[in-house]
Amino acid sequence: MNITVFGTGYVGLVVGACLADGGHHVVCVDVDEPKVEVLKTGHIPIWEPGLESLVRANLDEGRLRFTADAAEAVAFGLLLFIAVGTPSDEDGSADLRHVLDAARTIGAHMTGYKVVVNKSTVPVGSADRVRAAISEALRARGVDVPFDVCSNPEFLKEGTAIEDFTRSARIIVGTDSGRVCELMRECYAPYNRKHDKIIVMDARSAELTKYAANAMLATRISFMNEVANLAERLGADVEHVRQGIGSDPRIGYDFLYPGCGFGGSCLPKDLRALVHTAQDVGYETPVLRAVEAVNLRQKSLLFEKLSHAFGGDLSGKTIAVWGLAFKPNTDDMREAPSRALMEALWAAGACVQAYDPVAMPEAERIYGHRDDLRLMRSREEAVKGADALVICTEWKVFRAVDFDWLKSQLRQAVIVDGRNLYDPDEVSRAGIRYYAVGRRDGVVSPNVRT
């Protein structure tokens, strides 16, 4: 098939590269001409495992192209995927400006039948708004060209996006058209072979499915964080609790890990957008509001634990931070817990020595050069001479540590672990005060190794 993808951000690049790798011919279009020129060389502006090599391979094979020419892109594809950003507006609603701009561009250039596919995460009713925008552009041209609009939400996780696309658990297609359904089946045929993963529903239900899925995942995380905070106050160990409830097949283990809060480009934004959508129809969502409130509170937990460890005075202290991205295998720092921590540390007069395997250029882009932020080349450099260590991201490189060595590097033997990576007993036997989430805080074993 000939397929066009509007947008070369995270979703657009993954969709375009994966569809091309499945044998389709794909053109990705973007209004950012300098970005397009870089993409033509096979370099991508984001860090996602395997994506750059996939883009290069399909560029070399001639199945993937990039352009800034909207007319060319609209003419090329029978399926036109809209995969542009939908950031949060000031009131928490999803900003559809880029989606509707793409729709108007399609209406301005189409001359034959097209299927417009909403891949961007959009509020319920957006397919209707896209249809109206295209129809208005066609009327302005004085032409009547047939087209269909369908919803096909993405379910990509940063760090595993290629696998999520090629081995997805489900492919949601929101349409009432049999013709569209057959075309979408043809589009996804390369990745729908083992068993039929396509679920067809109306567009509004498809749009709500995406938001409901992310809201459920966010709810599980905030619920476990509530349980963890309660466990601390009751003298229980949340790791044991997690295993106990996760073993129930009705619950399962996924997204039951307590920590320092969720971030990134999806869960926080989509949760706010769903709350706003409910408000628009006069419905209150106290559960969703509580999920967001718990997450915001949880992001302050690391600073509070660290402040407690130092008697409330962090002025002049140097704090090592392991992990800046909101999760492993990405360089995305949007709404990351590390940002809340570092900004609170700076306000308290502390200095940060940070290391992340891939997100340091992003940290430099966000914060620029400042005397109280030192970006180090390794985890070892980050802890050398620091007063304490805080773990914000559960990268594999942080999981195995010689605690005797770590204690020798820190001026004061304090670890605040926002991801519960270590066994509290093992850390405490090394004479380190260990503050985790939902576990015994700051206890040093009487059997300290010397």
What are the CA-CA distances from residue 380 to residues 324, 345, 352, 399 (Å)? 16, 21, 14, 13
Residue 361 contacts residue 331 (beta carbons within 8 Å) = yes
Tokens representing 284 are 């209150």
Tokens representing 200 are 């067809």
Known catalytic residue at 28: no
> Mean pLDDT for each consecutive 10-residue tract of the chain (450 residues)?
97 98 98 96 94 98 98 98 89 90 98 97 96 98 97 95 96 98 98 95 97 97 97 95 97 96 93 95 97 97 97 97 97 97 98 97 96 97 98 97 97 96 95 94 58
Predicted pLDDT at 417: 97
- The CA distance from 285 to 60, in Å, is 49
List pLDDT tens digits, range 194-241: 899 999 999 999 999 999 999 999 999 999 999 999 999 999 999 999
* Residue in the block written with tokens 């950012």: 32
Predicted pLDDT at 122: 94
Residue 270 contacts residue 121 (beta carbons within 8 Å) = yes
- In degrees rounded to 5, what are phi and psi of residue 172? -90, 125
pTM (two decimals): 0.92
Predicted pLDDT at 446: 58
List the one residue out of 429, 449, 450 whose CA is nearest residue 440.
429
Which of these is catalytic: 28, 187, 260, 266? Answer: 266
List the one residue out of 160, 167, 201 whose CA is nearest residue 184.
201
- The CA distance from 96 to 125, in Å, is 11
